[in-house]
Structure 1
Amino acid sequence: MASSFLGNLVESTYLPLETATTILAMAGLFKWPPQATVNDGDRFDFIVIGSGVGAVIANRLTENEDVRVLLIEAGKNPSVESMLPGLFILLQNSYQDWNYVSEPEEATKNQQFGAYRTSAGKCLGGSSNINHFIHLRGDPCDFDSWAAYLKDESWSYKNVLPYFRKSETIQDEDILKYYANFHGVDGPVIITRQPDDSTRNIMESFEEIGVPSVLDLNTNNTVGFTESSFIIGNGRRQSTSQAYLNNLNRDNLYVLTETVAEKIIFEDNVAVGVILRLGSGEKITVYANREVIVSAGTFNPLTSSGF
């Protein structure tokens, strides 16, 4: 049966035999949370809409065994291809993408369809499954300016840096040698770098005109050119689903894929529940004892979550 499937995979996708064999081998590495059984009127402590950053939130919340968390994702589980770095070109404009396009305007008239394609992940792990792997934190000044504006030091870079460190395992000797204080070595997301002579030549050309090159932009030194860090480790994509949900077995985590959050229910300006449309087309209402957390991507919060 496996050999028959392998032959069909090669024939239907035109993938080389070695690549198809790798896909089959990797398929056994992923064990996504099972589809939960959720009924109309069920209550949870937290309802998380969207499983990109939402995967991180759901993982962290369910560390507390006393809370029940429902994680909602409109798409399916990630494909094995999405975990293979070399196949990222197949992912955007696929079923794992919302396939949005911009409004036509003068600047887009020469684009295909007269508009920009705007990708957004539609699968467990969201856009972290279809992006181009670049790992880059926000600028420290941004965090500090938010803290000052909100008068809330919890937003400051000094406060969020330990959480960045907690999230990652950096696998780069040079970065660890000079910037170990900015990185973690035992987190769920593996971060790597791939130095290349051709890239080095380009960076040296910028240095000749006064633009500095930087070993690591994920520090306080965030101006200059650098060789990118990637969310790639052990030969596979380090998406939020891979890092925070794969092989996660917790009785207090409930995951619904192929489920759309159609409307958030408010009482006295407090979000208390969500109307869901299941993959079967059935609509149910679920309730949150504590919080409804909207983590539905850049575009979806105002379109599919019913604000």
Structure 2
Amino acid sequence: MEDTTFDYIIVGGGVAGCVLASRLSASLPENSILLIEAGPENADDRVALSMGVFLSDTDDIQWNHDSIPQKGLDGNVVSKTQGKVLGGSSAINYQAWTRGSASEFDRWAEEVGDKRWSWNEMLPYFKRSETFVPGKDMSQEKSEAHGYSGPIKVTHVSSSGRNRNYPLKAMIADIHETAGQKRNDDMNSGDTLGYSEFANATLNGQRQWAALCPRGKNVTLWSSTQAIKLLFAGTQAVGVDVLHDGSAGTATAGKEVIVSSGAQNTSKLLLLSGIGPKAELQKHQIRQLADLPVGDNFSDHPYMATFWKVRERGLSLGDMEMVTPDCDWTAGSGCDFFAFHRHEEEHLKKLTKETLGAKEVERFELAGRPHTESFVMHGHIDFTGLVEAPEGSSFSFLNILVAPESRGSIRLASSSPTDPPLVDPALFTNPVDSQLMYECARMNITAIKASSAVSKYGAVEYGIAEADRDDLSDEALRRRLVKTCATVFHGSGTCAMGTVVDTECRVLGFRGLRVIDASIFPFPIGAHY
């Protein structure tokens, strides 16, 4: 830490921070840039290999946060893990690559009054990030929706370099067809509805993550360094206090401080620095600099899983060799398709009008916006640890809520920067969310039972009470939900555009301070982020 004065300081070396450091260094070569990352720079083959994270202990390269007890889940606690390594959560995730729908970005632009956040205006930046490799069933012609020279190789299961011919692929496609889902050739074209081949950031068994974005010589990296407080001269951001190997230090910014620490840690840092609700800051004896709703509007994408055992052996992860000539389970996540859905049931429309505000009803009814998502993981994949794996082959069916109406918060546990925040996604506190989840699960369980999963493979649901096996009532589905619910770690909204930041991502009332991660989303997007 010899040099401590820089033009720009970026706090957080995750997806947003790594991309910004790369692009700033290229466009402003005469300016000095500091990138601060709380975790290590390198995390060996646990990160570099596509499936390394899932076969390893990663506690040291992630923020091991848990939620507070969730009232909507009978007091259960859910994991709220985030990446703590250069590349952030892109270094420890399942490498899914989705953008969201055009209608959601157009709605975002409309709500904040700035067309630069619309789909057409964002598309050039989406394209710039990727080198797109279409799946074998897709058009091989170059598409105006994709980029072909970006730092991240975006492939599909059929085009990711190694054979990933999962034995149950045709069965999974049949389930989606039986559920009435249309085949969508390109989920990342702006139309997300239907089912499409799984797009992922992996190639030849190697993860493609944000740390691969090139950094110029004008970028200094401080790894294993935690930002603990933002510094101000009046309303001008002038630097950051940090901890490195237990020692305190300070970095000074000549132009801007840009925070990109994720929906949990960004809001925590702003709160520790005096930016947030008065009552929250007074509770911890922190002097308030600005009364902004930092930490409010928090949401995540929760899921409910169902688990199915098939009759034959040797058809899934955990019941066959990891690498065969036709199927290499180490080459990427064991998933063939995404599927995104809308729900138009009359009782849901009635419930939204009874329980939501006018803006929320408009978002719910937005044409082209997905409400839920489904995908199948081959094998027994249970993140709660509450469902015992069977002998033999199986598949895990995830029903995911991607348009949640429930809103929670990020709050401080104390004024100590080393204490984890109080994370409350408030899952299923809005009745619309429960009904959406039940409709998604009911649709998919019904489709599984009517498809070749049962007629050809003899699939039987396990991990449930015998009395619930043929019961698809709301009550029986809730019992499945409470037992299997977790989230897919898509937190957003805690420094929302329009209430905490403006459309340039500048924190309201301050100069030289921006937030640029998923904290700024005004509402949750139906995508993986």
| TM-score normalized with structure 1 length | 0.78
Report the CA distance shift for 1:117/1:261 in structure 2 as closer, same or farther (over 3 A).
same
Residue 157 of structure 1 pairs with residue 126 of structure 2: no
Alignment check: 8 A CA contact 1:93 1:99 kept: no
Q: Give, as a single letter, the amino acid of the residue that structure 2 aligns with 1:244.
A: C
SS of alignment partner, residue 188 of structure 2: coil
Q: Give, as a single letter, the amino acid of the residue that structure 1 aligns with 2:192.
A: T
The one-character-per-residue Cα deviations of 1:196-224 (angstroms, maximum 9, x if unpaired) are 56334323333234221212210122111
Which of 203, 215, 240 is the aligned partner of 1:274? 240
Report the CA distance shift for 1:269/1:238 in structure 2 as closer, same or farther (over 3 A).
same
Q: Please report how far the alpha carbon of residue 251 of structure 1 lies from its aligned counterpart in structure 2 after TM superposition.
A: 2.5
Q: Indicate the residue corresponding to 1:9 in structure 2.
A: none
1:196-211 aligned at under 5 Å gives the runs 196=165, 198-211=168-181
Report the CA distance shift for 1:203/1:233 in structure 2 as closer, same or farther (over 3 A).
same
Q: Indicate the residue corresponding to 1:62 in structure 2.
A: 25
SS of alignment partner, residue 195 of structure 2: coil
Instruction: Provide the rounded CA distance (Å) in 2 between the counterparts of 1:237 and 1:130.
Output: 9
Which of 60, 74, 85 is the aligned partner of 1:123? 85
Instruction: Provide the rounded CA distance (Å) in 1 between the counterparts of 2:73 and 2:63.
Output: 20
The one-character-per-residue Cα deviations of 1:150-195 (angstroms, maximum 9, x if unpaired) are 2212111111111111111112254453671111111110011114
Q: Give, as a single letter, the amino acid of the residue that structure 1 aligns with 2:174.
A: E
Q: Indicate the residue corresponding to 2:290 in structure 1.
A: none
SS of alignment partner, residue 70 of structure 1: strand
Unaligned 5+ residue runs, structure 1? 1-36
Q: Please report how far the alpha carbon of residue 277 of structure 1 lies from its aligned counterpart in structure 2 after TM superposition.
A: 1.1
Alignment check: 8 A CA contact 1:91 1:130 kept: no
The one-character-per-residue Cα deviations of 1:79-129 (angstroms, maximum 9, x if unpaired) are 22211112221457521111111112355569xxx5212210001111001
SS of alignment partner, residue 196 of structure 2: coil
Instruction: Provide the rounded CA distance (Å) in 1 between the counterparts of 2:52 and 2:222.
Output: 26
Q: Please report how far the alpha carbon of residue 145 of structure 1 lies from its aligned counterpart in structure 2 after TM superposition.
A: 1.4
Instruction: Provide the rounded CA distance (Å) in 2 between the counterparts of 1:176 and 1:240.
Output: 27
Q: Please report how far the alpha carbon of residue 270 of structure 1 lies from its aligned counterpart in structure 2 after TM superposition.
A: 2.8
Q: Indicate the residue corresponding to 2:220 in structure 1.
A: 254
Which of 199, 214, 230 is the aligned partner of 1:264? 230
1:5-154 aligned at under 5 Å gives the runs 37-39=1-3, 42-52=4-14, 53-63=16-26, 64-77=28-41, 78-90=43-55, 94-106=59-71, 115-154=77-116
1:289-300 aligned at under 5 Å gives the runs 289-300=254-265
Instruction: Provide the rounded CA distance (Å) in 2 between the counterparts of 1:292 and 1:267.
Output: 13
Q: Give, as a single letter, the amino acid of the residue that structure 2 aligns with 1:251.
A: K
Report the CA distance shift for 1:189/1:220 in structure 2 as closer, same or farther (over 3 A).
same
Report the CA distance shift for 1:176/1:218 in structure 2 as closer, same or farther (over 3 A).
same
Q: Give, as a single letter, the amino acid of the residue that structure 2 aligns with 1:115.
A: V
Instruction: Provide the rounded CA distance (Å) in 2 between the counterparts of 1:208 and 1:174.
Output: 20
Q: Give, as a single letter, the amino acid of the residue that structure 1 aligns with 2:144.
A: N
Report the CA distance shift for 1:100/1:122 in structure 2 as closer, same or farther (over 3 A).
same
Which of 223, 226, 247 is the aligned partner of 2:193? 223
Residue 190 of structure 1 pairs with residue 153 of structure 2: yes
Q: Indicate the residue corresponding to 1:244 in structure 2.
A: 213
Residue 287 of structure 1 pairs with residue 252 of structure 2: yes
Report the CA distance shift for 1:220/1:192 in structure 2 as closer, same or farther (over 3 A).
same
Instruction: Provide the rounded CA distance (Å) in 2 between the counterparts of 1:129 and 1:92.
Output: 14
Report the CA distance shift for 1:126/1:91 in structure 2 as closer, same or farther (over 3 A).
farther
Which of 255-264 and 269-278 deviates more?
269-278
Q: Give, as a single letter, the amino acid of the residue that structure 2 aligns with 1:102.
A: S
Instruction: Provide the rounded CA distance (Å) in 2 between the counterparts of 1:97 and 1:62.
Output: 27
The one-character-per-residue Cα deviations of 1:29-82 (angstroms, maximum 9, x if unpaired) are xxxxxxxx345xx32111001011201100110012111100000011222221
Report the CA distance shift for 1:68/1:106 in structure 2 as closer, same or farther (over 3 A).
same
Alignment check: 8 A CA contact 1:231 1:237 kept: yes
Report the CA distance shift for 1:202/1:178 in structure 2 as closer, same or farther (over 3 A).
farther
SS of alignment partner, residue 47 of structure 2: helix
Q: Give, as a single letter, the amino acid of the residue that structure 2 aligns with 1:193.
A: H
Which of 164, 177, 181 is the aligned partner of 2:144? 181
Instruction: Provide the rounded CA distance (Å) in 2 between the counterparts of 1:272 and 1:75.
Output: 23
Q: Please report how far the alpha carbon of residue 227 of structure 1 lies from its aligned counterpart in structure 2 after TM superposition.
A: 2.0
Alignment check: 8 A CA contact 1:265 1:271 kept: yes
SS of alignment partner, residue 299 of structure 1: helix
Q: Identical aligned pairs, as a percentage?
A: 32
Q: Indicate the residue corresponding to 1:18 in structure 2.
A: none
Q: Please report how far the alpha carbon of residue 231 of structure 1 lies from its aligned counterpart in structure 2 after TM superposition.
A: 0.5
Unaligned 5+ residue runs, structure 2? 159-164, 274-529
